[in-house]
Amino acid sequence: MIIRLAREIDDIQACAAVDHSYVTNRVWQVDAREQPDGASVAFRSVRLPRDMHGHYPRHLEGLNACWERGDAVLVAEGEGQIVGYIHLVVEASENSAWVRNLAVAPRLRRRGIGTALLHAAADWLRQQNADRLLIETTTKNYPAIRFAQKLGFSFCGYNDRYYANQDIALFFAKSLRWS
């Protein structure tokens, strides 16, 4: 497996072609309560009665434009084809970066490719002087939530109706200085 920066538009088109869907039997359920003197929000993992097939909440047609404007895209290449990628948006003024997209071909998931992509991204971002990496995902994408937690990312916030499909976004962050 080789991880490298995307070099040409064909790389980006191969990234967009990776199946971004997922299957889960758990979700994070939000319990938000407003009171006159404040508000409280809690998330808890809830088991679903059956497996749910999740669809990626973002349109990937814009990936070409993101890459052309300078966003970083690292690809995992194996067997002569792109089998996964990570798309990063660097916020230089904040010394941070966001994982905008991360996907691995379903047949190759749970084999360390996503972890390798994230580690390669962290190494590349350190060279760009970034101090912090943030990941976003929906409350429905429990595999992504567990993946972020497994790699040492901490829950740091949420945004209700963040995605075009009105799903809630969860945010996780990790310092790049200690990983």
Domain count of the chain? 1
Range of 160's domain? 2-175
Consecutive 10-residue runs of the chain (179 residues): their mean pLDDT? 95 95 95 92 95 87 88 94 96 92 95 97 94 96 97 95 89 86
| Residue 179: predicted pLDDT | 47
| Residue 60: predicted pLDDT | 78
| Residue 161: predicted pLDDT | 86
Two structure tokens written together for 104: 């691995």
Cβ–Cβ under 8 Å, residues 116 and 70? no
Contacting residues for 72 by C-beta, under 8 A, at least 6 apart: 5, 87, 88, 90, 121, 124
| Residue 22: predicted pLDDT | 95
This prediction has a pTM of 0.91
* CATH code, 159: 3.40.630.30
- The Cα 133–Cα 50 span in angstroms is 33
| Residue 178: predicted pLDDT | 59
